[in-house]
Amino acid sequence: MSGDFIRQLDDSGMGRGRSLFRRLHIDPLLFAMLLLLVLVGLFTLYSASGQNMQMVSRQMVYFAIGFGCMLVIAQFNPHWFQLAAPWLFAAGIIALLLVLVMGVGAKGAQRWLSIFGLFRFQPSEIMKLAVPMMLAWFMASRLMPPNFKVIVQALVLIYIPTLLIMMQPDLGTSLLISASGLLVLLFAGLSWRWIALALMVVLAVAPAMWYGVMHAYQKQRVLTFLDPESDPLGSGWNIIQSKTAIGSGGIEGKGWLQGTQSQLEFLPERHTDFIIAVFAEEQGLIGVLLLLILYLMIVIRGIYMAAQARDSFSRLLGGSLIVTFFVYVFVNIGMVSGILPVVGVPLPLVSYGGTSIVTLMAAFGVIMSIYMHRQV
Amino acid sequence: MSFSLKDAENEKDIFVRRAILAAFCVLLLLCALAGRMVFLQVSQHELFASKSENNRVQLKPVAPIRGLIFDRNGILLAENLPSHSLSIVPERVQDMDATLALIDTLVGLSPEEGARFQKRLKQWRRPFEAITIKYRLDETEIAKLMVNAFFLKGVEVEAELVRHYPRGEDFAHVLGYVGQMNEKEKRRLDDVQYKATRRVGKIGIERYYQDALHGEVGYQKVETNAQGRILDVLERESPKPGSNLMLNLDANLQRVAMQAFKGRRGSLVAIDPNTGGILAMVSSPSFDPNLFVNGISYEDYNTLRDSLDTPLFDRASRGQYPPGSTMKPFIGLSFLQSGVTNWSEKIDDPGWYMLANDERVYRDWKRNGHGDDINLRQAIIQSCDVYFYEMSFRAGIDNIEPFLSQFGFGKNTSLDVGNALPALLPSRAWKKQHRGRSWYAGDTLNMGLGQGYMLITPLQLATAMSVFANKGKWQRSKLVQYIDGVALADASAPADVEINNPADWERMGRAMEGVIRHHMGTARALQKGLQYRLAAKTGTAQVVSIKQNEEYDSAALLERQRDHALFVSFAPVDAPQIAIAVIVENGESAGRTAGPIARKVTDAYLSSLAQRPPLKRDVFGLSNMGN
């Protein structure tokens, strides 16, 4: 295999003859799949935005920034992430506290932090990287599989940022961030007994959440999920329209730019969270299956790359990041197709939005770094 | 913290095992998603495809164009004019307060328009039905709204046809007007046919002929976006416009009659005795029906409602008055019919009349009486009360009441005057039932003068006069002549009035002519310049009853307590073309107030008959006869 041949050369030779990708610390296979996904996303966005080229251009700029971030981050040795993890985590916690005190609101939630009025950012986005890093850092310094004390400490680390984000309130992000932390625990070898116990606790706590913690709009989402027809013009509208869009696409789809549900604006949030419905309506089951296969290949490749890492920290971090990526995909498509309640989660690398793209590409930068720096 | 060595190989093994497990889980969950997609896109494809089609394609009802209304000469009385209005679909508005505030800054909203909108917002309406908030937008306002359309989600500028009444006040009561359909009307009217209709006839012809004028709803299959904006019309089934009505009413005659009242309270009804067609039907004072079409302002409405002259009240079909001496020709015929007297019998009138065993003095309107030479003809000409006291006493209520009933008193005989009142023709049975007392001879005497319990409407009086002029042959009064060119038929006209000696019709007519011609006639002032033969009878109806032994002093009475003046007439006597009833409230002297009004209208009508232009029948939909 020519790849192996090059790798051998790389391992021995110092700099001479190394491929461009190797020098840039980019895995060509993952990179190619991401690029394909991005292209699919751009074409879908063009249709979903009502052929708004301006929006597509902006999305392309976001992707340029995202790939730039990936490229920069990939150059760092994972060792640096391990050193930075506690500091990044601490900074993230402080930023989250600041959001609650002086955050900027939008649509009834305080999620943004304005820096000197110059630009705004969401500290919860930092935590998407910082939480798995911190957990990987913590677990890597402990014995694996973790014992009870370590598990409790790890859970505390996970639920401090989770609760802070939940208070913004942003249920979707907080659940996904806690998922990324829990995934580190799972990859660290959390015993099945604890997992079974945790599941039982969740079932016991759920009613308490319903009556104590959840906001009215969150309850409404759950109720609507259970019976979307109960409020067809209110909150059930989204899910009814998205299911209609997907279902009417059939096997072959209505064709690019031909989806009536999206082009005639029946589908809400069609260029952001519900973009998969546009894709499914226009490309049909065939397109959806191909897209799912593409996601599957990206995730499998990511897991493989994480498994190749040189130390526990890198493995745990990489594993958590790539599976979190999958969780995004699953939650988003599950929500739009009506098997999960509506939570505001974008479809990774397809939905419109700069923040999500930059965060995801940064995560892929970390995975690239982990894989490309695997040789000690 | 326990201190132990980390086993790197073991940690890697754990991770790899878990990673493989994770990969399987990912595969499994993706299969679940794929399965869901197969379910939606294959198993339920047809359901969702039709749902999507229903989303995209909507069947929109299209309101038919309301039929036009013409007078007997083809003058337009009710038309549809294009008008732009601003409407809001509340379901599509995100922030109603902000939207209303923006509309206010752009085109201005009066507090009244705001209040009316809020009221309509609370009322029942079909989902996604637009509520009109502002009418009659001008071009500048439309432009301002269009420029800001982006900020005005759910707000639309609509072009629609709005009813307009060019003859305004002249026809307010008889023609009526259309207004916003209310909840009661929505329940009453056909849900399908009225799907797109927003205004219906509220009173008058507009209400009575609502179904004919409305037409049939049409449908449009349209492609709309989620905001309901129509992008494309796929199919169209045109609505069937409402029928055009041609009335018996004569717009110019109506104008003459209206002006003749000079704003006085009263009413006039003129009928063509040969057809029963109502030539003019006026209630004065009137109002502008155009105010009601788009919803009248509170201020305007309160002014109309609170006016002492009650302009909203339709006196012609709903005003109930004692007929007074205008009853005398009819009651006179009932004397002849019952045989209690004949044309030649003379009585002596000292100015008063008394019944045996009764203290009460029944006065004549003329203090010293009409002398000893009063026969039926003179009793009509001079309106001699004592003659009628005497003959009424002889004939009795049981002869008078059934005879009067044949002329349509006490019931609504009109073919298409929707809300006409039956008024009251008293009888023994009526008094027993409603007053709890038996009928007294005195009641009959009062009735002989058209006083007492009896009440008529101007429409009834004119109808009776018309039947009289037609020598007892019934033609029910009707407003509409043709519906889309088809003549209005009357299947169930009342039985004709038969009298023993048909020559009495003519003789009574000549007696009524004497009211004008004779030097003693109560309306002799009308003779001046008269070009044709006019038969008439005056009448006064007491508003305040005069007590025994009390002098009647009109100057002392307030204007509103003066007697009502009544007047009936028909002309020409030998071949009647027009029968009229006029009432001037508190007009006091029929010869001076009500009479001239009837004379003017009769003059105008008879001269117009002489020079009427030939009618272009095809213009008014008259060519499609039998359609």
Q: Residue B553 has what pLDDT?
A: 57
User: Which three-class secondary structure state does DSSP give residue A322?
Assistant: helix
- Whether the Cβ atoms of residue B397 and residue B428 lie closer than 8 Å to each other: yes
What average pLDDT does this structure show over B26-45?
94
Question: Residue A15: pLDDT band by 50, 70, 90 thresholds?
Answer: very low
Peptide bond into B596 cis (omega under 30): no
Chain A residue nearest residue B10, CA to CA:
A144
Q: Is it the case that residue A51 has pLDDT exceeding 60?
A: yes
What average pLDDT does this structure show over A351-370?
93
Chain A nearest C-alpha distance from B233 (Å)? 15
Question: Residue A122: pLDDT band by 50, 70, 90 thresholds?
Answer: confident
Q: Is it the case that residue A215 has pLDDT exceeding 80?
A: no
Nearest to B18 among A189, A233, A311 (CB): A189
Q: Is it the case that residue A227 has pLDDT exceeding 70?
A: no
CB of A50 less than 8 A from some CB of B: no
Determine how β-strand B245-247 pairs with β-strand B480-483. Answer: antiparallel
Query: Distances in Å between the alpha carbon of B258 and those of A43, B53, B304, B571, B595?
Result: 74, 58, 18, 20, 14
Residue pLDDT, tens place only, B155-169 = 888 888 889 999 989
- Whether the Cβ atoms of residue B190 and residue B160 lie closer than 8 Å to each other: no
Q: Residue A198 has what pLDDT?
A: 83
Q: Is it the case that residue B394 has pLDDT exceeding 80?
A: yes
φ/ψ (deg, to 5) at B487: -65, 140
Q: Residue B472 has what pLDDT?
A: 93
Residue B282 CA to residue B250 CA, distance in Å, equals 11
Residue pLDDT, tens place only, A66-105 = 999 999 999 999 999 999 999 999 999 998 888 888 776 6
> Residue type for A259, please?
G
Question: Residue B1: pLDDT band by 50, 70, 90 thresholds?
Answer: very low
Chain B nearest C-alpha distance from A173 (Å)? 20
Question: Given an 8 Å threshold on Cβ–Cβ distance, is A300 in contact with B56?
Answer: no
Residue pLDDT, tens place only, B567-609 = 999 999 999 999 999 999 998 888 889 999 999 999 999 999 8
Q: Is it the case that residue A376 has pLDDT exceeding 60?
A: no
Residues in chain A within 8 Å Cβ distance of B4 = 143
Q: Is it the case that residue A272 has pLDDT exceeding 70?
A: yes
Axis crossing angle, helix B328-338 with helix B458-469, rounded to the nearest 10: 50
Q: Is it the case that residue A8 has pLDDT exceeding 80?
A: no
Peptide bond into B285 cis (omega under 30): yes
Q: Residue B344 has what pLDDT?
A: 92
Residue B389 vs residue B53, higher pLDDT: B389
Query: Distances in Å between the alpha carbon of A259 and those of A55, A255, A264, B56, B183?
Result: 19, 7, 8, 11, 40
Active-site residues of B, by number, are: 325
Residues in chain B within 8 Å Cβ distance of A290 = none
CATH 3.30.1390 fits domain B83-161: yes
Query: Distances in Å between the alpha carbon of B203 and those of A36, A349, B178, B490?
Result: 71, 66, 8, 22
> Residue type for A130, please?
A
Nearest to B30 among A284, A292, A303 (CB): A292
Output the six-digit token pair for B359: 């203290």
Cα Rg, chain B, nearest whole Å: 36
Helical spans, DSSP H, in B131-247: 139-147, 172-175, 183-188, 204-208, 210-214
- Whether the Cβ atoms of residue B70 and residue B620 lie closer than 8 Å to each other: yes
* Nearest-5° Cα angle at B360, B357 to B364: 125
Query: Distances in Å between the alpha carbon of B289 and those of A210, B69, B133, B163, B259?
Result: 60, 14, 20, 10, 17
What average pLDDT does this structure show over B430-457?
91
Residue pLDDT, tens place only, B483-528 = 998 998 888 889 999 999 999 999 999 999 999 999 999 999 999 9
- Fold for domain B251-610? Beta-lactamase (3.40.710)
Q: Is it the case that residue B232 has pLDDT exceeding 90?
A: no
Domain locations in chain A as residue ranges: 25-64+215-357
Domain locations in chain B as residue ranges: 83-161, 251-610
> Residue type for B419, please?
N
> Residue type for B229, please?
R
User: Which three-class secondary structure state does DSSP give residue B230?
Assistant: strand
Question: Residue A13: pLDDT band by 50, 70, 90 thresholds?
Answer: very low
> How many CA atoms lie within 13 Å of A230's alpha carbon, on the beta-carbon side?
9
What average pLDDT does this structure show over B234-253?
91
Chain A nearest C-alpha distance from B28 (Å)? 10
What average pLDDT does this structure show over B191-200?
86
Question: Residue B459: pLDDT band by 50, 70, 90 thresholds?
Answer: very high
What average pLDDT does this structure show over B142-151?
87
B356-360 contacts at long range (C-beta below 8 A, 24 or more positions apart):
B358/B441, B358/B442, B360/B442, B360/B548
Residue pLDDT, tens place only, A293-335 = 999 999 999 999 999 998 899 999 999 999 999 999 999 999 9
User: Which three-class secondary structure state does DSSP give residue A180?
Assistant: helix
Q: Is it the case that residue A237 has pLDDT exceeding 70?
A: yes
Q: Residue B610 has what pLDDT?
A: 84
Q: Provide the β-strand partners of residue B277.
A: B478
Residue in the structure block whose two tokens are 């889980």: B25
Q: For a pLDDT cut of 90, what percent of chain B falls above it?
A: 55
Question: Given an 8 Å threshold on Cβ–Cβ distance, is B56 in contact with A260?
Answer: yes
Q: Residue B620 has what pLDDT?
A: 52
Query: Which residues between 261 and 290 in chain A have a beta carbon less than 8 angstroms from any beta carbon of chain B?
Result: 261, 264-267, 280, 284-285, 288-289
Q: Residue A232 has what pLDDT?
A: 61
pTM metric for this prediction: 0.65
Q: Residue B210 has what pLDDT?
A: 93
Q: Is it the case that residue B558 has pLDDT exceeding 80?
A: no
Q: Residue B288 has what pLDDT?
A: 94
Residues in chain A within 8 Å Cβ distance of B30 = 292, 295-296, 330
Residues in chain B within 8 Å Cβ distance of A337 = 33, 36-37, 40
Nearest to A319 among B15, B33, B55 (CB): B15
Helical spans, DSSP H, in A76-122: 78-102
Q: Residue A106 has what pLDDT?
A: 59
- Whether the Cβ atoms of residue B412 and residue B422 lie closer than 8 Å to each other: yes
- Whether the Cβ atoms of residue B293 and residue B432 lie closer than 8 Å to each other: no
Residues in chain B within 8 Å Cβ distance of A289 = 34, 37
Exposure string (b/e) for B437-469, b if CB count within 10 Å is 16 or more? eebeeebbbbbbbbbebbbbbbbbbbbbbbbbb
Quote the mean pLDDT of chain B. 88
